[in-house]
Amino acid sequence: MKKLLASTILAAGVYAMAGSAQAADCGDVSIAEMNWASAGVAAQVDAFILSNGYGCNASLVVGDTMPTFTSMNEKGQPDVAPEMWMDSLRVPLDAAVKEGRLIQAAEILSDGGVQGWWVPKYFADAHPDIKTVQDAIKHPDLFPAPEDSSKGAVFNCPAGWSCQISTTNLYKAIDGDAAGFTLVDTGSAAGLDGSIANAYEKKAGWLGYYWAPTAILGKYEMTKLGFGMETDKAEWDRCTSVTDCPDPKVNGYPTSEVYTIVTKGFAEKAEVAMDYIKKRSWENATVNKVLAWMDENQGNNADAAKHFLETYPEVWTTWVTPDVAEKVKAAL
Q: pLDDT tens digits for 190-223?
A: 999 999 999 999 999 999 999 999 999 999 999 9
Residue (of 201, 45, 49) closest to 122 by Cα position: 201
Other C-beta atoms within 10 Å of 322: how many? 7
Name the strand (E) or helix (H) holding 102.
strand 102-104
Report the pLDDT value the prediction gives residue 41, as an integer from 0 to 100.
Answer: 97
Report the pLDDT value the prediction gives residue 311, as an integer from 0 to 100.
Answer: 98
Ranges of residues in the chain with a pLDDT under 50 are 1-24
Long-range contacts for 281-286 (Cβ within 8 Å, ≥24 apart)? 281/106, 281/107, 281/108, 281/109, 281/110, 281/319, 282/108, 282/109, 282/110, 282/315, 283/109, 283/110, 283/111, 284/109, 284/111, 284/114, 284/212, 284/213, 284/217, 285/218, 286/312, 286/315
Yes or no: say if 277 and 105 are a contact pair by the CB < 8 Å rule. yes
Yes or no: say if 85 and 237 are a contact pair by the CB < 8 Å rule. no
Report the pLDDT value the prediction gives residue 160, as an integer from 0 to 100.
Answer: 81
What is the rounded distance in angstroms from the CA atom of residue 13 to the CA atom of residue 300? 16
